[in-house]
Structure 1
Amino acid sequence: MHVGILGPVEAHSPDGKIAVGGPRPRTLLAALALRVGEIVPLDRLIDELYGSEPPSDAANALQGQVSRLRRALGDAGLVEFQPAGYRLVLAAEQVDAHRFAALAADGEREAERGDPRAAESLLSEALGLWRGPALADVALADHATRLEQQRVSAVSALIAARVRLGRAEVREIQDLVHQRPLDERLRGFLVLALAQQGRQAEALRAFEDARAVLADELGADPSPELRAIHLQVLRGQAHREPPAQLTGFVGRQEELRRIAGLTSRLVTLTGPGGAGKTRLALRAAPPSAIFVDLAPAKDVAAATLQALGLKETVLAPEDRLTLALRDRDATLVLDNCEHLVGQAARLAQHLLSTCPSLRILATSREALGITGEALCPVPPLDPEQSAALFTDRARLVNPAFVPDRHTADICRGLDGLPLAIELAAARTRTLTTREIADRLGDRFRLLGKGNRAAAPRHRTLRAVVEWSWDLLTDDERDLAAALATFNGGATLEAAEQVGGHAVEVLEALVDKSLVEASDGRYRMLETIREFCSQHSRADAAHAAYFHALARRADPELRGRDQVEWLARLSAEHANLLQAVEWTVAHDPARALRLIGDLSWYWYLKGSRTEVGDLARALLARVPEESTEEYAILLALAAPERVQSKLLELRGPIRQPFVLIAWAMLAGPPDPSTPRIRLHDEVERSEDPWVQGLIAFSTAYTGWMTTGDRETAVRQSREALRRFQDLGERWGSAQVLDVLATITEDPREALALTEEALLAVEELGAEEELAELRARRADRLLALGREEEAERDYLQALDLATTAGLAATRALAGAGLARTAHRRGEQARADELLREARRELGFGWQHTAARQHVEELLSELARTREA
């Protein structure tokens, strides 16, 4: 059911128009509809139906009219009786006057918010509900007058929105002025609409007409607002409106809030090409802003004059602009300043100092660099906004598009750059998201088609980045190509040494949005890096720098500052792997040395398995030799061959990973095994770290062979002191673990294990964390703390999976099997042990773990038999 009162009173049901009846039923329906959903008192309804001469039995007469109306509507429940009166049981939106009021209010609210397009749409819809004069066929004059006033207000707001959009109808405004000749707001709209159509003479005449009418009728001069419009027309200030956008705006709420909150009169949006600076500026600028597109321009002042609709005169362009803008409260949008940044800065400085009410919103890939400028960086979109933009644009070409997991991969691969995302979304018409994601390695070819109507520099991804590249100096291009070599970003020191340019050149690349600076590192977006890397790369210099860094860091990883150096190398992890990869392909001799220098770092970090393929590739390229570097290479690429290579080593051992590899592959020393030269070399070492390792090894093997607990504890304490004097956490943790194994007190064993865990947690050493977490679980289980033990076993399992430690995974699985058995979950315990057995392979650690698993299987079997 719908009721209409914006015109003749009528009602409509789903079956069509309803014959409401004569004047009184129509008046009753209108009176109830005006207050739909509310109880209308009986005396008010009688007054509106009968006026000043109600019948003697007015209450009965009203009841009779209600009955007629109910019959006409076909549903008695629509007019509900209450002790205080009657109520029309409809929602407000089912009465056109209420829907009109809601739409008009929303439209005026959008106008106040600065969105004339939304305002025009809402107000047009609201006014489209009118079918003629309100309440045209009933005698409710006061209500009709009020509704007409609302209509006039909405019409005025609609015209205001259209004027702001530059598409007001002159004839429509002239008709309204004829109806309301003293409405100064309408007079102003008429002047502006004529000026916007280039009819300046008529606009000036319209102002003079307004002046004359106001003087004759009211004896008053035009208002300040109307005089300001007249002055604007006199100065020829019919300006270029911001271009309307053809697609929806997505995201950028944080940047919009920042722009709105800035008090500076010059705000510059900075960011790389394709970041969406222009769209953001158009969204943030008021609809009345003066838009100056500088992309095709060669002179900023001339382009600004053209945008204002002004012709050049004998005055200098800057002075002509000052005259036009001096008394205006206006916003000037200078878009795409980067190639004319010096000119833009000078004009902005001049206008801001001569036009006190002017505000400038600029977009540029670098700051204008003048006093008072506030910068608003425009970063890539976050993952959620990127996916929303991709989905929105994809549905324009493929209405059935549904985002999937590849959507996020595409957006991440494109750095969250809006233009790149839009170009990729357009490909969903012919490609699946998986196919697009798989082709991002050749993104410049993939995204080589764009909007034919866009500016050339925005048609393809390559054109966007090329625009920035062409604006660089030769030194900046050279350094950009060098920085593109870095997979993981660069420190200032690395950028200077590999790039070979002073810090000022690097700062210029940051200023021009080619490079991001954050937390002491300099990075490029992957799209920019891929483009720049097609030019003169610096791979050899990059590899040499990171080899020197690895060589310098290696001894520091066994001293007091090992946490800081481990963090430094971790920050360069991608660059270090890149250096290894390049040297394996182009300089195998250096690659062998570099792998040796990085071996202890990889061991502490738990990332040895990550370099397995590179190590195997290098093994095929270098000749066999009897060096510790070659032994390390074998430990990473072919561990089954390391034992024989260790027998050939001569001279002092420089790389501790040789000793660790020896221990990992050979297992605990067997006193009956003949000594080899390497034993003597190690024992003669003057390296304090190696001495601590010897003391630790002696304590452990002595206890294993003799069972002399007291001597083992004393020797372990001596080893612990040596490592702690060095400030070396890894060695300290190893000794603490041995002490925990030796002690007979389970609570002391747990405390020592927890102390060892704290030491390796500082390092983030994944292998040790996994092994110690599993041993802590063993010790918790020995104390009967089964739930805590289970949590630790699960953590150990996750850590061992990440570090690629099959033996530790097997031991953690065996521990979980033991906890399951204690709870009576026999089937689960058996399955966990079978999984643990499947994990095991080559090496003494695997052999020891297999023995442990088999013993536990036998133990559980005996328990069941008993």
Structure 2
Amino acid sequence: MLIGVLGPFRLQTGDRSPVRIGGQRVRMLLARLALEPNRTVPTEVLIEELWSGDRPSRALNALQSLVSRARRALPEKSGPALHSDGAGYVLAVPPDEIDLHRFERLAAEGHRLLHEGETGSAAATLREALDLWRGAALVDFAEAPFAEAASARLEELRLSAWEGRIEADLLLGNDHVLVPELDALCTRYPLRERFTALRIRALAACGRQADALTAYDDLRRRLAEELGMDPSQQLQDLHLAVLRGDLGTDPQHISQHSPPRARQEQHPTPACGVPTRLSSFIGREAEIDQTRQALRGSRLVTLFGPGGAGKTRLATESAACLEGLRVLFVELAPVREDHDLPAAVLGALGIREARLLDAQPTITDVTARLVDALSLEPTLLVLDNCEHVIAAAAGLVGDLVSRCPQLRVLATSREPLALTGEKVLAVGPLGLPEAGGDPGEAAAVRLFVERAAAVRPDFALDERSTDDVVEVCRRLDGMPLAIELAAARLRAMSVRQIADRLEDRFRLLSSGNRAAMPRHRTLRAVVEWSWELLDEPERALARRLSVFAGAVDVDSITAVCAGAGLVAEEVVYVLAALVEKSLVEAVTDDRGMRYRMLETVRAYCAERLDEAGEHPGTRLAHAEHFLDLAEAGGDRIHLDDQVEWITRLDTEHDNILAALHWTVVSGDADRGVRFVAALGWYWSMTTQHTEVITRLDEVMVLPGQAPPESRAVVDLMRGFFSTSPEWASELRRAAARVRETDAMSRYRYVAIMEPMAWLLSGLPGEVECSVQRARAHPDPWVNAAGLHAHAVSAERSGDPVGGERRARAAAEAFDRVGDRWGVAQTMTSLAGFRSLRGDHAGAIEVLGKAMTSIRQLRSTEDLVPLLARTGLEKLRAGDLEGAREGLAEAGEVAKSSFPYHRVTVWCGLAEIARIGGDLDRAREDLGRAHEVVEESWLAPRPMRQMLLAFEARLCLDEGRLDRARERLATAVEMGSGAGDMPIAAMLAEQSARLLLASGEAERAVRTLGLAVAMRGMLDHGDPEVRALLADLDVAVDPQVYRRAFDSGSALAGEHAHTELARTVGV
């Protein structure tokens, strides 16, 4: 397989036959993976780079679809070239089968040969490399986020190879042939010095010295006009050699009089003036490249970010490897007054301000001397820590850059200099471990491990320490200085002990490198340095921001933080100042600009909040604001703007939980109970069951007054999760309390929960009463919910006709009010009714509509069962391959949801194996399902019964009748008195199969009648039920059949369930 990206995208087989790839995004996927063959490209990176700002709602599914299409398109003989390793996707092909990597290898080899004097081989190798190009690199994907940097890098490598090839040809004596080519190249790349140098050399070798001098003069004039620069020293030397007429033709002259080449850059000479470091530099490789690249394109670059991010070290590492520049490093931390700044820079040059007997120099005098000194040669001036003299630093830098054409400035600061032409590079935390990735590869973890090994040589990242190290790095926000201070504590503590003490981080991290600047010796000193630079309004806002958890928008900040010396209209401007000074991070998401503090800064500001006596008042304002948001969201998530409100509640969830936690800790029953009552439906819709249970338990024990309808709703929700033997009576009492307080009028979702409580607790008469109250309610959503509850009640009590009619009406009603969740739930019910009738196509169609609604809500938890049900429906229809694909997709999505969702997937896969005759594989899959159920107490009872039923099917196929009876008995007993007749009917149909296999055909017929008594009809969509009916038609006399069947179907549902229990030996 051959992949080409050096020109239009191309895929070929090994014999160079073209392979057609349909779809631009599929080609883009292959091109992106081809940039890094045999390396995992993380899933999230692929999604971001393939869709950029147009991210699909189900991005993971969309990516999986692209991968599937790409796999199908790849040549079969290439084997499994595209595969996943859990963290992302890998294109497993030899690098030489991808033109860009073959080009890089050949170009590097050509440069090596040229450097070693093997001129002829170098020319041939570089020409072979250049022949691989068919046009601009990645030309088909110019708009893709990954293309710009990659194509720019490849273009630079191509030009370097071109230069090397021409140099080799020049050394071989091909001067006359090369002149026209170089004329064209210098016209196309007028500022590229090496092409001009080669052109000068070729012209001189042809005896055209005047043309060579003209070529130099053209470049000198263009550099001065466009960039304000002179030609490099090497080019000036070449010019002088032409003037003197002593430019020879031997290779040494070419080497001496050419601008720096790639081979020279591989062995840089350390720059002077940069502090030497004793420790290694970890995790900033990309930032070093970015900084050097910025310095090539801009004469002023500022590295800005919070204290302890590693700006100084990044600046020194970036400057240390720059060639052709004198480097001057100036530490500004000791400078206390603005007027001392020019003298500090002058001192770095080794120049005294004036002789002892001279008059006191003015700032203007010192600046003039700086201009003179910095204009002598190309210079990089590194100004470290500008933030405390920011205005003076900006003024001086602006003056120097404008007056010194050969000067470049690299500044570090906690805020930008805000000058025209300034290139600003943010320096943030080190990378933290990605979900599913190798923690040891994360830069923050690598730094901790290396610094830890320095103080404890026996320290290693292993199974015992990894989780603790990751926790420390995360809680320290990935900030290098904090991580280094923490690692130093390993002299006396374990990693676990360090993690346990991070709540008091300023005391814990209070000793560091004695050689460091004072502001870097302790964690507190790092933050205090920034705090001292704030004015009073900035300090007020900073300390009040400490009550927020995670990122937050400016409206919430204003609502919580305004007042007491901070006018609401000024908050946004003060906030912008904190962002500029790196105390607050500004981040952008789908809802716009949001703001957050690093945890260390937040902890420091929380201390200042306590000192100011503002903690209780700010916390209360925070709780009130997010309670208002929770109650507004709880009201709106039923209606047509529910997607927007679910997204908003998702976004603000950390702050909502922080506010709720404060109400619990402070014993505020009123707000605590209202929080949980308002959010109950949101948590249920997004299937955050653990969250519901945790918060319910917290607020139910709070003493004090709370709105009675809110308290009643909280009690009802807790009743649904009760594990008490008295759960049914508890649920009835809670449902009665909800009805007494008319909670339905304040919390719409009671219209579903109340009748469900009566149904599950075994009082169908009360179900009807609740349903009628909901259907008579003036609120359209409550009315729709009543219809839905009525449909569920009818289905579970064995009335499929009435259930289907009401489900259809409920779906229409939910659609009118815009509730996608309600539409999905009712569509799922309708699919079940269609499936029972054997209308598989209709069931799959309706399930598809339900999935469309759920995908709009981005609810993975609700999507997984729908995907699994679709797979099972295809299995019932006899489409084994479609079933396998559907269940595989469900299994993939289930990896990021509650574990118990995988039970249905494993059961479905087991059925496929069983039907295909692979009973061992079926047993393995059911075993995996059992493991999940045993580990998840949240697995619903019907799911456990379903698993037992699938096990019974397998046991029947294996001929293990006693074991099948035992599985069915357990399932029937589990559902005793639960009021879920469709599950009981399914178990009755399986029991009939068991009875026929045991030679009890007439009892099998009667048991099928029991299924009809409980469900209202047989499951005509199940091919095994249809086969059972056919077998019984043959095995039983028609009159006996009718009598047995009618006797079973005539029973009331509860009596039928009782007889079923006796039948299987309960």
**Normalised TM-score (structure 1):** 0.66
Q: Is the 8 A contact 1:781 1:789 kept in 2?
A: no
1:544 aligns with 2:624: yes
Identify if the C-alpha distance between structure 1 residues 260 and 796 changes in structure 2 by more than 3 Å, giving closer, same or farther: closer
TM-aligned CA deviation for residue 857 of structure 1 = 8.1
**Distance between the aligned counterparts of 1:717 and 1:438, measured in 2?**
55
**Distance between the aligned counterparts of 1:436 and 1:840, measured in 2?**
48
1:309 aligns with 2:350: yes
Residue matched to 1:12: none
**Distance between the aligned counterparts of 1:481 and 1:829, measured in 2?**
66
Deviations 1:677-712 (A, max 9, x none): 755542331111111122333445456668472x65
Residue matched to 2:779: 687
TM-aligned CA deviation for residue 366 of structure 1 = 0.4
One of 854, 872, 884 as aligned partner of 1:787: 884
**Distance between the aligned counterparts of 1:662 and 1:775, measured in 2?**
27
Residue matched to 1:289: 327
**Distance between the aligned counterparts of 1:828 and 1:410, measured in 2?**
55
Q: How many pairs align?
A: 629
Identify if the C-alpha distance between structure 1 residues 716 and 664 changes in structure 2 by more than 3 Å, giving closer, same or farther: closer
**Distance between the aligned counterparts of 1:270 and 1:835, measured in 2?**
69
One of 803, 811, 816 as aligned partner of 1:720: 811
One of 278, 281, 300 as aligned partner of 1:266: 300
Q: Is the 8 A contact 1:830 1:857 kept in 2?
A: no
**Distance between the aligned counterparts of 2:485 and 2:953, measured in 1?**
55
Residue matched to 1:507: 576
For 1:434-473, list aligned pairs within 5 A. Answer: 434-473=496-535
Residue matched to 2:422: 373
**Distance between the aligned counterparts of 1:514 and 1:376, measured in 2?**
16
1:661 aligns with 2:753: yes
1:534 aligns with 2:607: yes
1:576 aligns with 2:653: no
**Distance between the aligned counterparts of 1:835 and 1:813, measured in 2?**
13
Q: Is the 8 A contact 1:267 1:374 kept in 2?
A: yes
**Distance between the aligned counterparts of 2:767 and 2:943, measured in 1?**
33
Indicate the SS of the match to 1:534.
helix
**Aligned AA for 2:307?**
G
TM-aligned CA deviation for residue 790 of structure 1 = 5.4
| Larger radius of gyration between Structure 1 and Structure 2 | 1
**Distance between the aligned counterparts of 2:507 and 2:995, measured in 1?**
67
Indicate the SS of the match to 1:278.
helix
Identify if the C-alpha distance between structure 1 residues 816 and 699 changes in structure 2 by more than 3 Å, giving closer, same or farther: closer
**Distance between the aligned counterparts of 1:624 and 1:707, measured in 2?**
44
Deviates more, 1:514-523 or 1:529-538: 529-538
TM-aligned CA deviation for residue 489 of structure 1 = 1.4
Identify if the C-alpha distance between structure 1 residues 442 and 835 changes in structure 2 by more than 3 Å, giving closer, same or farther: farther
Q: Is the 8 A contact 1:631 1:642 kept in 2?
A: no
Identify if the C-alpha distance between structure 1 residues 844 and 341 changes in structure 2 by more than 3 Å, giving closer, same or farther: farther
1:396 aligns with 2:454: yes
**Aligned AA for 2:511?**
K
**Aligned AA for 1:253?**
E
TM-aligned CA deviation for residue 251 of structure 1 = 2.2
1:810 aligns with 2:944: yes
Indicate the SS of the match to 2:899.
helix
**Distance between the aligned counterparts of 1:588 and 1:515, measured in 2?**
33
**Distance between the aligned counterparts of 2:517 and 2:401, measured in 1?**
29
Residue matched to 2:443: 385
Identify if the C-alpha distance between structure 1 residues 470 and 852 changes in structure 2 by more than 3 Å, giving closer, same or farther: farther
**Distance between the aligned counterparts of 1:778 and 1:545, measured in 2?**
46
Deviates more, 1:455-464 or 1:803-812: 803-812
**Aligned AA for 1:531?**
Y
Q: Is the 8 A contact 1:271 1:379 kept in 2?
A: yes
For 1:552-571, list aligned pairs within 5 A. Answer: 552-571=632-651
Residue matched to 1:255: 287
Residue matched to 1:53: none
**Aligned AA for 2:607?**
Q
**Aligned AA for 2:637?**
L
Indicate the SS of the match to 1:309.
coil
**Distance between the aligned counterparts of 2:756 and 2:795, measured in 1?**
19
TM-aligned CA deviation for residue 615 of structure 1 = 2.1
Residue matched to 2:843: 749
Residue matched to 2:58: none
One of 681, 690, 695 as aligned partner of 1:609: 690
TM-aligned CA deviation for residue 808 of structure 1 = 5.8
Indicate the SS of the match to 1:292.
strand
Residue matched to 2:711: 630
Identify if the C-alpha distance between structure 1 residues 794 and 374 changes in structure 2 by more than 3 Å, giving closer, same or farther: closer
Residue matched to 2:275: 243
Identify if the C-alpha distance between structure 1 residues 670 and 332 changes in structure 2 by more than 3 Å, giving closer, same or farther: same
For 1:57-206, list aligned pairs within 5 A. Answer: none
TM-aligned CA deviation for residue 425 of structure 1 = 1.7
Residue matched to 2:17: none
Identify if the C-alpha distance between structure 1 residues 427 and 703 changes in structure 2 by more than 3 Å, giving closer, same or farther: closer
Indicate the SS of the match to 1:543.
helix
Deviates more, 1:559-568 or 1:240-249: 240-249
Identify if the C-alpha distance between structure 1 residues 325 and 761 changes in structure 2 by more than 3 Å, giving closer, same or farther: same
**Distance between the aligned counterparts of 1:831 and 1:395, measured in 2?**
61
**Distance between the aligned counterparts of 2:865 and 2:758, measured in 1?**
18
Indicate the SS of the match to 1:631.
helix
Deviations 1:622-673 (A, max 9, x none): 4587833112211344544342133242445221332333244333797862
Q: Is the 8 A contact 2:512 2:522 kept in 1?
A: yes
TM-aligned CA deviation for residue 850 of structure 1 = 8.4
Q: Is the 8 A contact 1:562 1:728 kept in 2?
A: yes
TM-aligned CA deviation for residue 740 of structure 1 = 1.5
One of 828, 831, 834 as aligned partner of 1:740: 831
Q: Is the 8 A contact 2:299 2:401 kept in 1?
A: yes
Residue matched to 2:470: 408
Residue matched to 2:736: 647
Deviations 1:165-210 (A, max 9, x none): xxxxxxxxxxxxxxxxxxxxxxxxxxxxxxxxxxxxxxxxxxxxxx
**Distance between the aligned counterparts of 1:783 and 1:311, measured in 2?**
91
Q: Is the 8 A contact 2:775 2:783 kept in 1?
A: yes
Q: Which runs of 5+ in 2 are unaligned?
A: 1-114, 117-255, 257-270, 355-360, 433-441, 563-567, 610-614, 721-726, 902-937, 1000-1066
Residue matched to 2:409: 360
**Distance between the aligned counterparts of 1:827 and 1:310, measured in 2?**
99
Indicate the SS of the match to 2:303.
strand
Q: Which runs of 5+ in 1 are unaligned?
A: 1-100, 103-224, 226-238
Deviations 1:32-87 (A, max 9, x none): xxxxxxxxxxxxxxxxxxxxxxxxxxxxxxxxxxxxxxxxxxxxxxxxxxxxxxxx
**Distance between the aligned counterparts of 2:973 and 2:299, measured in 1?**
67
Q: Is the 8 A contact 2:942 2:983 kept in 1?
A: no
Indicate the SS of the match to 1:291.
strand
**Distance between the aligned counterparts of 1:600 and 1:368, measured in 2?**
49
Residue matched to 1:51: none
**Distance between the aligned counterparts of 2:444 and 2:306, measured in 1?**
16
One of 581, 588, 606 as aligned partner of 2:669: 588
1:480 aligns with 2:614: no
Q: Is the 8 A contact 1:240 1:307 kept in 2?
A: no
**Distance between the aligned counterparts of 2:976 and 2:335, measured in 1?**
70
**Aligned AA for 1:810?**
R
Deviates more, 1:256-265 or 1:717-726: 717-726
Identify if the C-alpha distance between structure 1 residues 458 and 796 changes in structure 2 by more than 3 Å, giving closer, same or farther: closer
**Distance between the aligned counterparts of 1:842 and 1:303, measured in 2?**
86
Give the share of equivalent positions with the same residue, in percent: 36
Identify if the C-alpha distance between structure 1 residues 741 and 676 changes in structure 2 by more than 3 Å, giving closer, same or farther: closer
**Distance between the aligned counterparts of 1:242 and 1:603, measured in 2?**
59
Indicate the SS of the match to 1:540.
helix
Q: Is the 8 A contact 2:380 2:409 kept in 1?
A: yes
**Normalised TM-score (structure 2):** 0.54
Q: Is the 8 A contact 2:759 2:793 kept in 1?
A: no
1:764 aligns with 2:844: no
